[in-house]
Amino acid sequence: RKVINVALVGNPNCGKTSFFNFASGAHERVGNYSGVTVDAKEGHANFEGYQFNIVDLPGTYSLSAYSPEELYVRKQLIEKTPDVVINVIDTSNLERNLYLTTQLIDMHIRMVVALNMFDETQKRGDHVNYDKLSELFGVPMVPTVFKSGKGVSELFHQIIEVYEGTEDAQSHYRHIHINHGHEIEHGISEIQEHLKKEENVRELYSTRYLAIKLLEHDQDVEKFVSALPDAKEIFYHRDKAENRVKEETKEDAETAIMDAKYGFIHGALNEAAYEEGHKEDTYQITH
């Protein structure tokens, strides 16, 4: 039996624990982590001859390491390297939820998006062309209702496809780069060039992700990079890129990166999401 390690990543209250309980048959209390030590719950499920080891991670709005939860989730993603991440999204709040998705894309993580709370979206009469959204993000997306378990089989199926890298998966999954604007992208490539010189860095991390985090002045990543032989060069390029961004956009790099990500999300939603009455669109949730 093949084992696939998956981790649940998403905003608080998007349905991660509901999926975890449904899939693993666990009876965890559905609720927040407030007041509870940051920790991950583990369970497993069997599907189509595969064993899924599932980790339910604490909810996060981003991976910027501003909170213990964010730092914890990041550490889990980098150190435990799940085979496939299930990015759970509250579909009635796509804009905010997809921000985390753009950060996962930076990390070059293999993932499947669960467009959860799809019942709420339908109830409101909003339409989400999830095939289009999936194409624009380069990530398979499956509409789900974890409260009742709808879409779970299809989700597991997609995870297997991504894990195995089947032809079908390749048509849904391609690693895209979110364009952060010319100056930022220029800075990212310069920083990446130096990071790639280090074999263990190149092999263990997405250098694009590290470069973006450096431009955001992420203290955790700064500390990591300080220990590299090329640290001086790398920080030099970071500062240079940052100054160019400031001159050009009057923004600091961190704000420019965030703006670019939201710009990408807005563009995608303009193409793929419709409010009631704008367009007829078919969707089906399979059991």
**In the complex, least distance from residue 21 CB atom to Mg ion, rounded to whole angstroms:** 9
Is 240 a binder of ligand GDP (CB under 6 A)? no
* Contact between 97 and ligand GDP per CB under 6 A: no
38 a known binding residue?
Answer: yes
Asked if 42 and 61 touch (Cβ cutoff 8 Å), the reply is no
Is 243 annotated to bind a ligand? Reply is no
142 among the known binding-site residues? no
State the binding partner of 42 from ligand GDP, Mg ion, none, CB within 5 to 8 A by kind. none
x/- mask, ligand GDP, residues 42-71, rule CB under 6 A, reads: -----------------x------------
Considering only 76, 116, 134, 192, the residue that binds ligand GDP (CB under 6 A) is: 116
| 111 neighbors 145 (Cβ within 8 angstroms) | no
The residue (of 18 and 76) whose beta carbon lies closer to ligand GDP is 18
Best CA proximity match to 139, nearest among 106, 90, 117: 106
Residues 152-211 that bind ligand GDP (CB under 6 A): none
Choose the binding region for ligand GDP from 13-21, 103-111, 251-259, 275-283 (rule: CB under 6 A): 13-21
The residue within the footprint of Mg ion, chosen from 5, 11, 17, 21 (CB under 5 A), is 17
15 labelled ligand-binding: yes
119 among the known binding-site residues?
yes
Flag whether 264 is marked binding.
no
Contact 228, 201 (CB under 8 A): yes
Residue 15 binds to ligand GDP (criterion: CB under 6 A)? yes
Cα angle value 159/134/122 (rounded, 5°): 95
Site residues, Mg ion (CB under 5 A): 16-17
Site residues, ligand GDP (CB under 6 A): 10, 12-18, 30-31, 59, 116-117, 119-120, 145-147
